[in-house]
Amino acid sequence: MRIILLGAPGSGKGTQAARIQQKYNIPHISTGDIFRSNIQRQTEIGMEAKKYMDQGLLVPDELTLRIVESRLMEDDCQIGFMLDGFPRTTVQAEALDKRLNELGKSLNVVISLDVNDDTIIKRITGRQVCKSCGEVFNLYFKNPAEAGKCDKCGGELYTRADDTEETVAKRLKVYGEQTYPLIDFYSKKGNLVKINGEQEEEQVFYDITQTLNSII
Ligand SMILES: [Zn+2]
């Protein structure tokens, strides 16, 4: 099973990715993780990527492709994989297609978790975290019984500094600009399946499994 997972920050993508990995036992490949691991192991590619990241620059497509390709060649990916955070551009998507083609493989499905911007803004700006135990509450969806106090341990709740509407709006804008061409690309190829990410986590996962079960 070779799949791609697309979803904005706050779409619930991380949670769903973990559940997919657990249920279907396929490696979850996040470009962020591979970069970190290559930098940690001080590989040649890792050191090259680090030069860009240290300057706050985006890692060029060519380098990202090389790093993802080398990961896809590893043994555990022979049964399949779930890509997360890659491809980010249509250039990367085309290159991935080409590479898989050369290997006699293809993508099964591209899952897009669709959530309204308003919901995402509420999910993120409403978030309140317990200082003591890390339990997460939300002013719109999961209020604590007593304002500012953790239901579990009585600890003080706080809002993360970058969970502001301004930051979220900026992240959503960047995500949209990058991803719309990609959605269009996969939609034209007939690979795209949209999942309603507004639903409860359980229902979202159920819908995803319905799609994935149909391809195995
Ligand atoms: Zn707590």
Domain count, the chain: 1
Name the pLDDT band for 53 (thresholds 50, 70, 90).
confident
Distance from residue 152's CA to the centre of ligand 1 (Å): 5
Known binding residues for AMP are: 31, 36, 57-59, 85-88, 92, 160, 171
CA of 187 to the centre of ligand 1 (A): 43
Q: pLDDT per residue over 108-131, tens digit each?
A: 999 999 999 999 999 999 999 999
> Separation of 128 CA from ligand 1 center, angstroms?
11
> Percentage of the chain surpassing pLDDT 70?
100
Whether 159 is in a domain gets the answer no
Whether 40 has a pLDDT exceeding 90, the answer reads yes
Q: What is the pLDDT of residue 57?
A: 81
Buried/exposed 53-87: b ≥16 CB within 10 Å, e otherwise = eeeeeebeeebbbebbeebbeeeeeeebbbbbbbb
State pLDDT tens for residues 55-75: 888 888 889 988 998 899 899
Q: Is residue 38 part of a domain?
A: yes
Distance CA 174, CA 89 (A): 12
| Three state DSSP letters for the chain | CEEEEEECCCCCHHHHHHHHHHHHCCCEEEHHHHHHHHHHCCCHHHHHHHHHHHCCCCCCHHHHHHHHHHHHCCHHHHHCEEEECCCCCHHHHHHHHHHHHHCCCCCCEEEEEECCHHHHHHHHHCEEEECCCCCEEECCCECCCCCCECCCCCCEEECCCCCCHHHHHHHHHHHHHHHHHHHHHHHHHCCEEEEECCCCHHHHHHHHHHHHHCCC
State which residues form the domain around 104: 2-116+179-213
Active site residues: 13, 88, 127, 160, 171
157 domain-assigned: no
Q: Does 11 reside within a domain?
A: yes
Binding site, annotated residues = 10-15, 31, 36, 57-59, 85-88, 92, 127, 130, 133, 136-137, 150, 153, 160, 171, 199
Would 132 be classed as within a structural domain?
no
State the number of CA atoms in the 13 A half-sphere of 16 facing the CB.
33
Taking the C-alpha atoms of residue 188 and residue 160, their distance in angstroms, rounded to an integer, is: 39
Distance of CA 131 from the midpoint of ligand 1 (Å) = 7
Residue 158 reports pLDDT greater than 90: yes
Q: Do the domain assignments include residue 83? A: yes
CA of 5 to the centre of ligand 1 (A): 32
Is 62 contained in some domain?
yes
Q: Tell me if 121 is assigned to some domain.
A: no
CATH number of the domain encompassing residue 58: 3.40.50.300
